[in-house]
Amino acid sequence: MVNMEKKEDRRVAMTKRMLKEALTEMLRETDIYHVSIRELCQRADVNRTTFYKYYGSQFDLLSDMENDMLTFLSQTITEHEAEPVKIIETACVYMENHLEFGRLIINNNVDPVFPQKLFSLAAVRAAALNKYAGKMDEAMMEYLYNYITYGAYRIICVWLNKEQREPPEQIAQFLIELIQRD
């Protein structure tokens, strides 16, 4: 029974991966509002009934893809709490490994509110402001948080969009040097 469940879990994961890859391809050509479920399923070689078993719409699939990224980032921050360079480096490697979707989502071509979703994560806020806790009032902390996160986000955007990118380790070290300057 356990072996059968693992096989089923692999099938589900493979189906979802194929749908996510197909959506990423389609989003390079059109916006999310013009993605048809029929064409998405054809590209993924998945039955529409199967699609609707997991998702209600293309927006639900996109949300699942965003949640994969946000969950990964939250887990990375928690796992490497004391290593800010490792957090940024791991996030950059993830983005590089998911380059097409990363470019689509980070360039606001797909979901213009994605940055707010990212920056509303408690783990991101804690990691960004950890060094400054107790050193300034709440209003100044809010300004600092926006400065750090949106500045780092734009650097990641520029880096991701380059064809000849610096290694993730180098960009992570650069960001940490900027963020942790006194």
Token pair 């408690």 is at which residue?
Answer: 122
Q: What is the pLDDT of residues 18-76, one digit of tens each?
A: 999 999 999 999 989 999 999 999 999 999 999 999 999 999 999 999 999 999 999 99
Structure tokens of 84? 């800010």
Q: Which fold has domain 1-56?
A: Arc Repressor Mutant, subunit A (1.10.10)
* Angle between helix 99-106 and helix 84-97 axes, rounded to 10 deg: 110
68 close to 125: Cβ distance less than 8 angstroms = no
For 119-130, the pLDDT digits (tens) are 998 888 888 888
- 182: pLDDT confidence band, cut at 50, 70 and 90? low
Sketch the domain layout of the chain as residue ranges.
1-56, 63-182
pLDDT at 84: 84
What is the C-alpha to C-alpha distance for residues 174 and 101, in angstroms, rounded to an integer?
24
Rounded CA gap, 67 and 114, in Å?
10
